[in-house]
Structure 1
Amino acid sequence: AAVRLTSNYILMLSCMMSFASLPRGRKVALTTLGVLTTGGAGLALMLHQSVKASDLELHPPSFPWSHNGLLSSLDHASIRRGYQVYKQVCAACHSMEYLAFRNLVGVSHTEEEVKALAEEIEVVDGPDESGEMFTRPGKLSDYFPKPYANPEAARAANSGALPPDLSYIVSARHGGEDYVFSLLTGYCDPPAGVPLREELYYNPYFPGQAIAMAPPIYNEVLEYEDGTPATMSQVAKDVCTFLKWAAEPEHDQRKCMGLKLLMGCAVVIPLVYYLKRHRWSVLKSRKIAYRPPK
């Protein structure tokens, strides 16, 4: 191995020496050729990754979400509407087993409103003093109810497809809320020559383009409590904002801490620079001379 490394090193040195001995014009031509070749290969790789014409896969565009700014917070009115969309549209098939009713308090609803929402469901609890299970109204500590008792029941009700849990769907999918928004609004007729099995729908943003979920939203699919027009794009935007909050409930607090950190650095960094430049530099450059005793 050592002999091979030595021979490779000698070969590399000889190539460098031979390149250095070339005329200036040839050096420029070879360098230009190398740069163009590398740039062309990189461009071809990028195009291959961004567009795959063989399977007609589309990548979601980047939408101007209001919470994407460096210090921008989530739209909490949109989170409230998004929860309404989930409750009335998505909860029929999709669960959110990692989200409890108490998580909504102070984010999209008041404590009294969340208590009323929780009491709308019946929860099996127990056992009681006689060892029997009983049902009770939901409370703040209860998690969102599941639409199906188990994955097998979910598959049986959806032609073999298992609806994913939506608690962390934004973080679990490449593209985040851009992908979810594009998926919800991207249903269309399949192109000519693309067959689909029965009970499947064409969506160019879904991997494989054949999705078992029927188009879940459309214009006026529900009526918002605050009177906002329930267009398809508005409904998709609100539910994506809600899912973004569900996946990252610390989103606003994280940016608030970042702002505090920046404000602290704005005070500390100039002070440290002053101490280093005008105080410590004097001590560091000081010369101490020791006189020998007489």
Structure 2
Amino acid sequence: MAALRMVVLSGCGRTFLNAPKTVPVPRLNMSFASLPKGRKLAMTTLGVLTTGGAGLALLLHHSVSASDLELHPPNYPWSHNGLVSALDHSSIRRGYQVYKQVCSACHSMEYLAFRNLVGVSHTEEEAKALAEEIEVLDGPDETGEMFTRPGKLSDYFPKPYSSPEAARAANNGALPPDLSYIVSARHGGEDYIFSLLTGYCEPPAGVSIREGLYYNPYFPGQAIGMAPPIYNEVLEYEDGTLATMSQVAKDVCTFLRWAAEPEHDQRKLAYGFVYPYSPRLLPEET
């Protein structure tokens, strides 16, 4: 039974007993279909705006970190990312040229040998010629002395510095990383490397960069010790391709993806996928 309320009227000494007012309770199980048309439209609009706002907030969170202004690299449409897509081996060859002429001055690739290029980006004769361009310390000989000789296919790419200490001394204390597996070792893979190479710019207002460092919003901390390594026509491609900054970055990223995952094409071929770029690696027709 509902409780009775005692109400005292001011100005008189009488007391009245009143029953509580009846408050209508909304139906919680009312279906969306039974709502009026205007309320349906309002609720739908509110849901779309809420979802869109949450999605935008999530996108901004992943794109820009407000704490350190670090940009997240976008997803680029790499031709080899498809389920049935192989690496562009012409791009791998150009990427090796970029590494040799630009990157190898500071960065090593100590896990890659000249023989690895054979059948991928170069013929055996071309790879031998590349190896013979370097001098390799070998020995000892029968007299116990060390000697130098021309490189062979079995030799690994030469290192730019004799030791990590020498590398740091030549780069203001920064140690250039080895590039053999750099694509797999960095979050974002080739998207990150491409964005880093093409992302150098002036620091925003209020941000100061120490002398000897360069501003790059894609690098953790934004202050990177590597000077901008590429620019338009930084080199001349052997095949005549125009060496724009984006083309150079794309080619070296493709080369580094192959270096980090040399089984990329063979793995897809093993599952019966198509090879669009490397017909010479397919089994010979009978």
TM range (shorter): 0.7 to 0.9
Matches of 1:257 and 1:112 in 2, distance apart?
A: 28
1:49-198 matches, within 5 Å, as 49-198=62-211
8 Å CA contact 2:62, 2:72 repeated in 1: no
Q: Distance in 2 between matches of 1:102 and 1:27?
A: 73
State the Cα distance separating 1:110 from its structure 2 match.
Answer: 0.3
Shift of 1:220: 0.6
Q: Letter of the aligned partner of 2:200 in structure 1?
A: Y
1-structure distance, mates of 2:225, 2:109: 19
Q: Does 1:236 align with 2:239?
A: no
Partners in 1 of 2:52 and 2:252 — Cα distance? 41
Looking at structure 2, the residues matched to 228 and 137 of structure 1 have their Cα atoms a distance apart, in angstroms, of: 31
Higher CA-based Rg:
2
Structure 1 residue 162, shift from structure 2 partner: 0.2
Cα offset for 1:105?
0.2
Alignment TM-score, normalising by the size of structure 1: 0.74
Conserved? CA contact 2:200–2:214, under 8 Å: yes
The one of 228, 235, 240 equivalent to 1:215 is 228
**2:108–2:159 contact (8 Å) kept in structure 1:** yes
Q: More helix by proportion, 1 or 2? A: 1
Q: Provide the secondary structure at the position in 2 that maps to 1:238.
A: helix
- Unpaired stretches in structure 2, ≥5 consecutive residues: 1-24, 33-42, 274-286
Q: Among residues 229, 246, 258, which one is paired with 2:259 in the alignment?
A: 246
> May I ask how many residue pairs the two structures share in their alignment?
234
- State the AA in 1 paired with 2:220: P
Structure 2 contact 110–159 (Cα < 8 Å) conserved: yes
Superposed displacement of residue 99, structure 1: 0.2
Q: 1:74 to 1:25 in 2, by over 3 A?
A: same
User: What's the secondary structure of 2:188's corresponding residue?
Assistant: coil
Equivalent position amino acid for 2:68 in 1: D
CA contact (8 A) 2:102 2:229 kept: yes
The Cα shift of 1:259 comes to 2.7
Query: Does the 8 A contact of 2:63 with 2:73 survive in 1?
Result: no
Q: What's the RMSD between the two structures over aligned residues?
A: 2.3
Measure the CA separation in 2 of the matches of 1:45 and 1:224: 41
For 2:99 and 2:27, the matched residues in 1 are separated by 68
1:48 positional shift: 3.2
Report the TM-score when normalising by structure 2. Answer: 0.76
How big is the shift at 1:42?
7.3
The Cα shift of 1:23 comes to 8.1
Q: Which residue of 1 aligns with 2:28?
A: 25
Choose between structure 1 and 2: higher strand proportion.
Answer: 2
Partners of 1:108 and 1:249 lie apart in 2 by 12
Amino acid corresponding to residue 178 of structure 1 in structure 2 = D
- Give percent identity, aligned residues only: 82
| CA distance in 2: counterparts of 1:28 and 1:172, whole angstroms | 52
CA distance in 2, matches of 1:195, 1:219: 27
Q: Secondary structure at the match of 1:95?
A: coil
Give the counterpart letter for 2:253 in structure 1: C
Q: CA deviation at 1:51?
A: 2.6
Give the distance between the partners of 2:162 and 2:70, measured in 1 at CA: 34
Between the aligned partners of 1:193 and 1:225, the Cα distance in structure 2 is: 44
Letter in 2 for 1:58: L
Deviant stretches of 4+, over 4 Å: 26-29, 38-47
Cα deviation for residue 54 of structure 1 reads 2.2
Give unpaired runs (5+ residues) of structure 1: 1-21, 261-294
- State the alpha-carbon separation in 1 of the partners of residues 58 and 77 from structure 2: 27
3-state SS of the aligned residue for 1:149?
coil
**Aligned-pair CA distance for 1:52:** 1.1
**Displacement, 1:102?**
0.2
- Residue equivalent to 1:264: none
Q: 1:218 to 1:27 in 2, by over 3 A?
A: same
Cα distance, 1:46 vs. partner?
Answer: 6.2
